Structure 1
Amino acid sequence: MDTISLNTVRGSPVYKTLINYKVDLFWIFIASAIINILMLTPMVYMLQIFDRVFISQNVATLISISMVIIYLYVVTSVSEYIRSQFIIRLGLKIDRKLNKRLFFAAFKNKLDSNIADPLSYLDDLLLIRQWMTGPAVFAIFDCPWVPLYVLVMYILHPYLGLLSVILIILLVILGWVTAKTMGMSADIMMEEEKESNKFLYNKLRNSEIINVFGLAGKFRDPWLKTKSLFYLNFVDREKKAGKFYHFAKQFRLFTASLALALGAVLVMYNELTLAAMIAAALLMQRTVAPIDNLTMVWSNWQSVNRAFQRINELLTTYDIQNDYINYHRNEADVNELSVLSVENLKVESDEKTILNDINLKVFSKEVVVIVGPTGSGKTTLSKVLAGIWNKYDGKVTYDQRDIRDFGNDDFKSNLGYLPQSVMLFAGTVSENICSMGKPDAERVIKVCKLIGIHDFILRLPQGYDTKLAPGSASFSGGERQRLGLARAIYHNPKVLILDEPNSSLDQYGEANLANVLRVYRSENRIVIVISHRKSIFTVADRVIEMKDGEVQHISPITEYLETVASKTKTPRSQTDET
């Protein structure tokens, strides 16, 4: 991935957020200025000891100078503390400002592109914050003062100034070579380990199947092979990194020794005092320290750069300013929904057409059933109608209001959706029914009685207050499906979209589902059901037949049942004649 340009940085959401905290940046700069100027204190003290105290032999002078130096050391320490606190606070402010935007942007991106780990963007933000509050940023604020140290070295002697410039250039070259050699190996190693662990997790979570078919050994061997390759690459990387680290460490020590050696030569030629020689050795370490610190973190910059670009791209694509909820319209704007209209809808994924030229209308006071073979696009259509799938061409409107203009509050109050796979979250039964909000006990019980699960819930250890683990595998498919239906209708939505709501239901559960559909039809709601079971036709008003991503027929339920019956009778009559 290429390094981002300066214009890209300035236009990025992260930079715009950072620049809002100019006051913090100003005080960090002031503290850095005080620290770097006072870093000359040891050198000045050394010069005063040799050139003033030794010559005067005056203890009072020594005490006076020492008191001033102690005061300057205290000021330096306080300034360093203040700077570190400002930087830490700045990192937390940026994290707090961006993490909510990132969460909702990553959530939207997950819906659109189904990325494997949507919260990896929050890890990227953490990486940037850690980089901003670590040695790299201290070095960045210290680097502008390097010319001051070089100037002081030059004042001591031009050769010392020249030597400091040469050493700085050598450090820059060393950092560049290290970054080039190591490349993005750290990121690659991290991704390889994640993939290896994810491979094992995905296999072991199906432990029942693995146990029945004796697959544990077959999965273990490729995992161990992958881990072995990982550790070989890890050791190789650490060897390379160790070489550069130890060389850089010795080079840092060498800079002070080299300055001392050059100073000694200048002293022998009477071009430098003994005090200036020792001061030069001390100052040389400080002169190259910011550059040295930058080279130490240079290799990490590639990881930070990639994280910066990913966040920038995400927040630019999904321009969510503070909270996803900011997109909502007033509920009064969508108080009644009477017609759903789909015009020229087309959905493509991975260069494959899933839905093509879908045109239909669904009205309130009717139950519409969508049927079709597996892979005909029924579930994708339901996700588009529920506002889950946003990457499509065409138009989807509720009472002429584009569904893309709906926000979080609109979906919660107007749309009820039951997916094929029901996810139960960590929390109580009642919290799961009310979408993890604050349960309205009266509403929860009313919904559960309508669906026919009130008695079932009362038989749980703590009834509606029973704590559920994530997923709650202890529930059967039908129980999970009925809890999902309760969640779908809890907010009394104006549009109800159910994807295979009866696939795991028994006869009793199907009867209660039919009752729910009748109630919602009588209350002037838009009801759309995807189902393969014929039992749902008892409450259907119209049927939409789909095949290969296209609508084949839209017909009243009576006409559809007659067509199905005639197709069923035709083969029999032909057999009889034969």
Structure 2
Amino acid sequence: MMTVTSVFQKARGSYARIWLHSIFIALLALSPFLYMMQVTERVYTSHSWETLGFITVLIGFLMLVWGMLDHYRTNALHAVGYRIDHELRQGIFDAVHRGDRPEAFRAYADIATLRQGLTGSLVESLMDASLAPLFIVVLFILHPVFGLVAIGYILLLALLSARGRSIWKTVRAEQRVPEDQAFAFGMATAARRETIRAMDILPGVRREWAGLEDRASDIVLKGHERAGILDSAIGVLQQAQLVILVGTGATLYLLEQVSATAGMAAFIVMMRGVGPVVAVARNWSVLNEVRMAAERLDAVLSEEPEEPQSPLPDMQGHVACDNLGYAGADGKPVLTGIRFSVPAGSIVGVVGPSGAGKSTLMRLLSGGARPTAGSVKIDGFPLALWPAAQHGPATGYLPQAVDLLPGTIWQNVTRFAPFDPALTPAVTEALRMAGALDIVQGRGRGLDFRLLDGGAPLSGGQRQRIGLARAFYRMPRVVVLDEPNSALDAEGEKNLAYSLTELKRAGSTIFFSTHKANLLGICDYILVIMDGYMHSFSTRDDMLGRLNAAGNPLLAADKEAGAGADQGGDQDAGRVGEQA
């Protein structure tokens, strides 16, 4: 399973090489101070132009090398950071779409936070700070007091920084809940702006959204009040750094413990050794944000199910449910104890009152949702064992709320397959079966006509037909349709009935839920769900007779249209194309 740590481990070699360059960068960064010392000791005493020129050229060359190495380090850090970002993005994208964490949509922002942390000056400061022990050793050589002062200074910075990180971690954890709620609420209301505008719900939803944002802001403000004191203390220490260093050197000089040159050298070394540590301490909030982003990304990645590696035999379409159950996020059962088995090439109609659990069953049969009890098996294998590369192309699914994606009609029907002229016949056939050829022919750009999120500007019926074409594309072995005729007129329902019998003849196993009786005549089996339980399951003729005898209002409509499609489909399949 991918984790942020595992991705970082792949980049260890690159970071090690960059760190080695940091050693030379840190040493070469002493060049200006070395220049100052040499000019003071040699040029001022000798009044030699030659000495000044030689020292200037030498230090200038060293600074040029420093600049080149620093440029390399910056570019290398960006390259490694974006490589990690690229690998994580693919894993996160898959995890967001395969997992069930409601807050997973924020993972993209966490990736951006991680990338900025990996490619910014913070990493350079961390690498430079890791060299502090080397400079401390030099300080101990000059005089033990210099080394002890540096250690004490660093420990005090570390203590303040750790306390600040602890406070901010608690604040961010508390803030995340209302912040996520506000973001999700804002996205949900934006998607329903027409309803909000029509009934003037804006003041109420604005008040609700603002309340969530205010809760998050209040938590942050209180956190800043607590952590701001520590941040100010670190700032005071940073400003006092020069006083501490110069004062220590002067004290030892007056006590005749060190020479003036040694005092100046200690000052330079301590500035280079302690400076990056101060920079890290001042940026502890950024470091904390990066660490928390990595933890949240790991949490999202951990939710992604393990992808089966071993391919299974080609799917035939024998579907069975074994004590299938599903519970919502609140733990309340939505479906319980669903048991049935149908052979490949069957058509199963699922009926029941609103809220009975039909849509949930469709989601489970398609693999869009994972059961919390029991299993769905295809050809004897649980859905979880089917590799996505096998299961996806062999499955057609139409949700109750048709969810067309931003892209062209071609992309939506082909499920975003790369453009290939060889796929055109399959696309045309899917559109024909869905009765959607007129939609393409009526658009100026044909299959290249671009849809917006949800399928705009198509009408509800047109969106449903494009969704059906996507489900029918390349004759999947298992087709699951949630109320496929809800937005179709009588002609569209008749076309749908013929298309389903055409899929059946091709060997597809078809499940559809409906509130209408018109399509039930083409079924081989009918499943009745009541209050989340399987009320009954039997063959079409037996079930229709039992339901009619019970006076079920669902079946009050004439079922002859569906039965006629079942009987006449073999004789006149070509009429489907004419009706489209």
1:42-70 per-residue CA deviation (whole Å, 9 max, x = no partner) reads 44434433333334443322322332222
Change over 3 Å in CA distance of 1:15–1:225 after alignment to 2: closer
1:7-58 per-residue CA deviation (whole Å, 9 max, x = no partner) reads xxxx973333322334312311210111223344344434433333334443
Alpha-carbon distance, 1:239 to partner? 5.9
* Aligned counterpart for 1:373 among listed residues 321, 333, 353: 353
Residue 329 of structure 1 corresponds to 311
CA distance in 2, matches of 1:233, 1:312: 25
Residue 264 of structure 1 corresponds to 250
Letter in 2 for 1:555: S
Residue 71 of structure 2 corresponds to 81
Alpha-carbon distance, 1:328 to partner? 7.5
Letter in 2 for 1:487: R
Asked if the contact 2:478/2:509 (under 8 Å) is kept, the reply is yes
Change over 3 Å in CA distance of 1:451–1:314 after alignment to 2: closer
Q: Secondary structure at the match of 2:507?
A: coil
1:342 lines up with 2:342 in the alignment: no
Residue 151 of structure 2 corresponds to 165
Residue 5 of structure 1 corresponds to none
User: Where do 1:527-546 residues align within 5 Å?
Assistant: 527-546=510-529
Letter in 2 for 1:85: N
Asked if the contact 1:371/1:531 (under 8 Å) is kept, the reply is yes
Residue 560 of structure 2 corresponds to none
Letter in 1 for 2:66: T
Residue 562 of structure 1 corresponds to 545
1:435 lines up with 2:415 in the alignment: yes
Letter in 2 for 1:337: Q
Give me the CA root mean square deviation. 2.9
Q: Secondary structure at the match of 1:568?
A: coil
Residue 100 of structure 1 corresponds to 90
Residue 175 of structure 1 corresponds to 161
CA distance in 2, matches of 1:441, 1:425: 20
Residue 200 of structure 2 corresponds to 214
* Aligned counterpart for 1:420 among listed residues 367, 384, 400: 400
Alpha-carbon distance, 1:94 to partner? 1.6
* Aligned counterpart for 1:552 among listed residues 513, 527, 535: 535
CA distance in 2, matches of 1:218, 1:12: 43
CA distance in 2, matches of 1:407, 1:12: 17
Alpha-carbon distance, 1:484 to partner? 0.8
Letter in 2 for 1:489: F
Letter in 2 for 1:345: L
CA distance in 2, matches of 1:412, 1:230: 40
Residue 309 of structure 1 corresponds to 295
CA distance in 1, matches of 2:305, 2:523: 41
- Which is further off, 486-495 or 293-302? 293-302
CA distance in 2, matches of 1:298, 1:140: 11
* Aligned counterpart for 1:129 among listed residues 112, 115, 135: 115
1:196 lines up with 2:182 in the alignment: yes
Please give the TM-score of this superposition, normalised by the length of structure 2. Answer: 0.86
Number of residue pairs matched by the alignment: 549
Alpha-carbon distance, 1:543 to partner? 0.9
CA distance in 2, matches of 1:228, 1:388: 36
CA distance in 2, matches of 1:469, 1:195: 26
1:493 lines up with 2:476 in the alignment: yes
Percent identity reads 26
CA distance in 2, matches of 1:21, 1:205: 40
Asked if the contact 1:135/1:293 (under 8 Å) is kept, the reply is no
- Which is further off, 190-199 or 374-383? 190-199
Alpha-carbon distance, 1:219 to partner? 2.8
Please give the TM-score of this superposition, normalised by the length of structure 1. Answer: 0.86
Q: Secondary structure at the match of 2:519?
A: helix
CA distance in 2, matches of 1:19, 1:226: 39
Q: Secondary structure at the match of 1:519?
A: helix
CA distance in 2, matches of 1:315, 1:228: 30
Letter in 1 for 2:75: Q
Change over 3 Å in CA distance of 1:498–1:34 after alignment to 2: same
Letter in 2 for 1:60: E
Q: Secondary structure at the match of 2:485?
A: coil
Structure 2: segments with no counterpart, 5+ residues: 554-580
Change over 3 Å in CA distance of 1:462–1:132 after alignment to 2: closer
1:126-177 per-residue CA deviation (whole Å, 9 max, x = no partner) reads 3223222233322332233212222322333333222222222221222123
Asked if the contact 1:328/1:408 (under 8 Å) is kept, the reply is no
Change over 3 Å in CA distance of 1:45–1:377 after alignment to 2: same
CA distance in 2, matches of 1:171, 1:492: 66
- Which is further off, 297-306 or 188-197? 188-197
* Aligned counterpart for 1:389 among listed residues 362, 369, 390: 369
Change over 3 Å in CA distance of 1:108–1:228 after alignment to 2: closer
Alpha-carbon distance, 1:183 to partner? 3.9
Asked if the contact 2:434/2:472 (under 8 Å) is kept, the reply is no
Alpha-carbon distance, 1:418 to partner? 1.0
